[in-house]
Chain A
């Protein structure tokens, strides 16, 4: 019984870890697949490729929400839920007027950012496949 409990706990932990960005991804997938014409929402998606090799350098998806308090709050909650599992994160709250979140996971490298201004938000999600020369990796 005790062993079964330990296995169950490990299983739950594993599932939780595998859906590290689960809350944010779920919201983004919903907006990707069910875009609403009623909402003031702009969704952008693009792939950046190395011009020499054609390989994908990064994939970026960005959601811009204006005047939709409910959706904005959903994303803020998702970021708060997912930040605990991030390899590193930062939150910059400027006296409640605007908030910046950055969540970073490694292997694969994923960067999730949220900028909130009142009821408007910009969510930027990028998956980095390779470091290209246009970025500036910090080295010590």
Chain B
């Protein structure tokens, strides 16, 4: 493994709060004395700050949020994408079942004008179906009373 790969792993470990004191000293020393890639310049400043404050400070160090490894980004994006896909599938399945509306072939004719956009008339049709269900209940009562 190249040294820079090992350092990258240590940086990730540091940001996760899992490094030992010895590992952190390795990071401080490396960033202090080596030519770091341009995109890691801010890490040099960060570790320098930590190194200066380590001996005296007892404050809990909060992990800087600025550096995020590509691997973590990929993992995060993948997780979000999976959640979005699951959400879409769940929404579509609910949407599908409700779009197989029980009032599929419906229309209304009012004063000679026909309305058959189910989205516009759904409420009206549903009210009619509710009335029909109540009437059917009454009819069933009649049939039961007549013993048919």
Contact = CB atoms under 8 A, between A and B. Distances in A.
Given A62-B128, A124-B131, A43 B109 contact: yes
Interface in A55-96: 57-58, 60, 62, 87-90
A46 B137 contact: no
A51 B102 contact: yes
B148 A135 contact: no
B105 A46 contact: yes
Nearest to B116: A45
Interface residues of B, number: 34
Contacts of A51: 97, 100, 102
Nearest to B135: A113
B111 A135 contact: no
Interface in A35-61: 35-37, 39-51, 54, 57-58, 60
A109 to B, nearest CB: 8
Interface string B117-136: 00000001100110111011
Given A45-B106, A46-B103, A37 B113 contact: yes
Contacts of A49: 100, 102, 104
A2 interface: no
A126 interface: yes
B132 A37 contact: no
A138 interface: yes
A126 B132 contact: yes
A40 B109 CA distance: 11
Interface residues of A, number: 40
Interface string B136-147: 111111111110
A120 interface: no
B111 A39 contact: yes
A121 interface: no
B5 interface: no
A108 to B, nearest CB: 13
Contacts of A43: 108-110
Nearest to B125: A46
A18 B117 CA distance: 36
Interface of A: 35-37, 39-51, 54, 57-58, 60, 62, 87-90, 102, 104, 106, 111, 113, 124, 126, 128, 134-140
Given A46-B103, A124-B128, 16 more contacts: A37-B111, A37-B112, A42-B108, A43-B109, A43-B110, A46-B128, A58-B132, A62-B128, A88-B142, A88-B143, A102-B142, A104-B139, A104-B142, A106-B148, A113-B135, A134-B133
